[in-house]
Amino acid sequence: MSHHDLTPVMAPAAGPAIGSGSASGRRRPVPTAALRGLAGLAGLVAVLEVLPHVGLVSADYLPPASETGRALWQLLAEDPFWTALGDTLTGWALGLAIAVGAGVVAGVVIGSVPLLRAATASTIEFLRPIPSVALIPVAVLMYGTDLRSKLLLVVYASFWQVLVQVLAGMQDVDPVADDTARSYRLGRWGRVRHVMWPTALPYVMTGVRLAATVALVLAVTAELVIGSPGLGRELAVAQSSGAVPQVYALVLVTGLLGVAINLVARAVERRALHWHQSNRRRGAEG
Amino acid sequence: MTVHTVFRRALLAGGLPGALFALWWFTSAGSTDFYLPPLSTTLGKFGEVWTPERLRSDVLPSLLRLTAGYLLAVVAGVGLGLVVGTGRVVRDVLEPVLELFRAIPPPVLVPVIMLFAGIGDTMKVIVIVSGCMWPILLNTVEGVRAVDEVLSDTCRSYGITGPTRLWHLVLRSASPQIVTGMRQALSIGIILMVISEMFASSNGLGFTIVQFQRSFAIPEMWSGVLLLGLLGFLLSLLFRFAENRALAWYHGLRRAQRNP
């Protein structure tokens, strides 16, 4: 009873494999692809440099790449920048940790009791799509520019990502494995621990990866709109004082932060699932 | 389906929301906390605040901007995704750049786009497009890349090429992924609709809610939060309905493969 993936329509492409060392073709394609990618990035920098010089775009709106680079270099030399970066990362990490912890616990509890699952389904479906930015005014009133208002937004947004993935994973249990565990007289907890959790883990990791990205977006948003300390607030300040190159430099920093978070999340995912990767079915899409 | 099962289902679906609603209603009933008014007050204000005129002057512009931005993002995302996904070299060159653009938290782009486009409707639509496009684009690329090779070869041997191949093979195979991207884009779009109005605006849902908050009209503000939540829920319902119609073939296929 080979239980292989039978879905030809959607291959389990788990995102572009950056830096993946798959067994086949380790030599050739990877360096070419990397070189081409570097060429692409260099091209972007060149375009950004040339556009304002030629006069296609006013340098007031889009400073040449060299100027943005200089602004970035200056930022990196200043303490406030590093404090802001630390603030952003603190909000992100704390919010993500709370969301993942709460999401996994709630998901395992709800997912392992069918009645609970049926009873909460409609509530989850209603609460999940509520845009977290709707909470901005509430957060401002209750917590001001405190770290807590950032956390409220981050946790609300990323909690659902995790919860929904955990629930999807717990439901994906192979009935044969579950029946086998039952006939071996595994209790409810034993089945959760040894059958459901390993099945759900890939989904959970996908949820954590999605949540990590969402958490960064909401952390920066809170700083930008509410004015909690962090990169977002620095950006708002730079914008209102007309320091255009700094604005671009900070946008670039948030982008690089996003890329870094993505790469780390994927690496963690690969590590945690090294035993599973080969027959991995794609998790319920985000 | 007997009366009993219908009743049971209704209880399961409606029980918890009802209980939570009742809990909120009764615990907040005697609330004297300025920031947490009784639910009855908030709901009373709801009808007062969100009159048809207000819906027309504030909610409709928001929704129109969202629709325009979202549709543009779908067209641009799928179009570019097809180009990037089919050519290997193009994909290799552009992938890191696209990953970088995707990783930029979309609200950060508001100040940048304000430099170019001012604070009018154009700015808001561009903001929505610039945030919604990336998940659609990258998912389209993934979907195009994962087109089944057997189907692709079959098409070739039947001489199906050009637009016919694009429409019947490539787009069709990539559509589940494209829809996934569109779903992610929708929630980003709602966020950006609100954020862009919070920055600088003279109308719109986000603008109105922030106005209430700044003038300490708390029950009015809560009614706005409720409306925004309701809007998010309704849009996702609408999306699911559309998805179930458009991808019925795919969900059926998956079900059949899961329980052979």
Which residues form the domain of A184?
A: 78-279
pLDDT of residue A99: 95
Residues in chain B within 8 Å Cβ distance of A10: 143, 146, 176-177
Contact criterion met (CB below 8 Å) for B219 and B45: yes
Q: What residues of chain B score a pLDDT lower than 70?
A: 1, 258-260
The tokens describing A93, both together, are 């990490």
- Mean pLDDT computed over A34-47: 88
| DSSP annotation of A196 | I
What pTM did the predictor assign? 0.81
Closest alpha carbon to A207 in A120, A106, A134? A106
Residue to substitute from B62, B91, B104, B109, interface A, most A β-carbons within 10 A: B104
User: How much is the pLDDT for A29?
Assistant: 56
φ, ψ dihedrals at B127, nearest 5°: -60, -45
Q: How far apart are CA B254 and CA B258, in angstroms?
A: 6
Chain B neighbours among A 128-167 (CB < 8 Å)?
Answer: 128-138, 140-142
Does residue B21 belong to any structural domain of this protein? Answer: no
Chain A touched by B206 (CB under 8 Å): yes
> Chain A partners of B210 at a C-beta cutoff of 8 Å?
136-137
- With an 8 Å Cβ cutoff, are B194 and A248 in contact? no
What confidence score (pLDDT) does residue A106 get?
Answer: 93
CB atoms within 10 A of CB B233: 17
Give chain A's mean pLDDT: 81
What is the crossing angle of helices A79-112 and A197-221, to 10°? 140
DSSP string over chain B: --HHHHHHHHHHHHHHHHHHHHHHHHHTTT---SSS--HHHHHHHHHHHS-HHHIIIIIHHHHHHHHHHHHHHHHHHHHHHHHHHH-HHHHHHHHHHHHHHHHS-GGGHHHHHHHHHTTSHHHHHHHHHHHHHHHHHHHHHHHHHT--HHHHHHHHHTT--HHHHIIIIIIHHHHHHHHHHHHHHHHHHHHHHHHHHHHS-SSSHHHHHHHHHHTT-HHHHHHHHHHHHHHHHHHHHHHHHHHHHHTHHHHHHHHHHH--
Confirm or reject contact between B67 and chain A (CB < 8 A): no
Give the domain CATH number at A116. Answer: 1.10.3720.10
Among B182, B134, B128, B188, smallest CA distance to A255 is for B134
pLDDT confidence tier of residue A140, bands split at 50, 70 and 90:
confident
Mean pLDDT for the stretch of residues A99-120: 89
Helix pair B218-246, B172-199: axis angle to 10 deg? 170
Whether B8 is covered by a domain: the verdict is no
Is A161's pLDDT higher than 50? yes
Q: Which of B111, B63, B81 is nearest to B181 (CA)?
A: B81
**B23, part of any domain:** no
End-to-end C-alpha distance for chain A, whole angstroms = 30
Q: How far apart are CA B38 and CA B26, in angstroms?
A: 8
Contacts of B146 in chain A (CB under 8 A): 10-11, 13
Q: Are A148 and A91 within 8 A, CB to CB?
A: no
Q: Which of B89, B111, B235 sits opposite A36 (nearest CB)?
A: B89
ipTM over 0.95: no
Q: How far is A248 from chain B (nearest CA, A)?
A: 8
Predicted confidence band of residue A17 (pLDDT cuts 50, 70, 90) = very low
Has residue B18 been placed in a domain? no
CB contact (8 A) between residue A131 and residue B191: yes
Which has the closest alpha carbon to B74: B141, B135, B143, B122? B135
Task: Tell me whether residue A48 is in a domain.
Answer: no
- Does A229 score more than 70 pLDDT? yes
CB B195 within 8 A of CB B209: no
Query: Shortest Cα distance from B125 to chain A (angstroms)?
Result: 18
Give contacts of A261 with chain B, Cβ < 8 Å.
103
Q: Which domain holds residue B131?
A: 37-258
CB contact A126 to B (< 8 Å): yes
- How far is the alpha carbon of A18 from chain B, nearest alpha carbon, in Å? 9
Least confident window among A29-38, A109-118, B132-141: A29-38
CATH assignment at residue B112 = 1.10.3720.10
SS3 assignment, position A110: helix
In a domain, B29, yes or no: no
Chain B residue with minimal CA distance to A12?
B146
Decide if A248 and B12 are in contact by the 8 Å CB cutoff: no
A264 interfacial to chain B (CB closer than 8 Å): no
Q: Which residues of A touch B119 (CB under 8 A)?
A: none
pLDDT tens sequence across A236-260: 999 888 888 999 999 999 999 999 9
For A119, the closest of B16, B96, B198 (CB atoms) is: B16
Domain tally for chain B? 1
Q: Tell me, what's the pLDDT at A195?
A: 85
pLDDT tens profile A47-85: 888 888 887 777 778 888 888 899 999 989 888 899 999
The per-residue pLDDT for A105 is 93
Q: How far is A98 from chain B (nearest CA, A)?
A: 21
Domain membership flag for residue A7:
no
For residue A249, tell me if it sits in a domain: yes
Across the interface, of B104, B212, B253, the residue whose CB is closest to A251 is: B104
| pLDDT at residue A28 in the model | 53
Report the chain B residue with the minimal C-alpha distance to residue A248: B112
Percent of chain A residues past pLDDT 90, beyond the cut: 28
Annotate A155-193 with DSSP letters as a single string: HHHHHHHHHHHHHHHHHT--HHHHHHHHHTT--HHHHII
Q: Rounded to whole angstroms, what are the CA distances from A9 to A4, A12, A68, B145?
A: 14, 10, 44, 11
What pLDDT does residue B91 have? 86
In angstroms, the separation between the Cα of residue A193 and the nearest Cα of chain B is 24
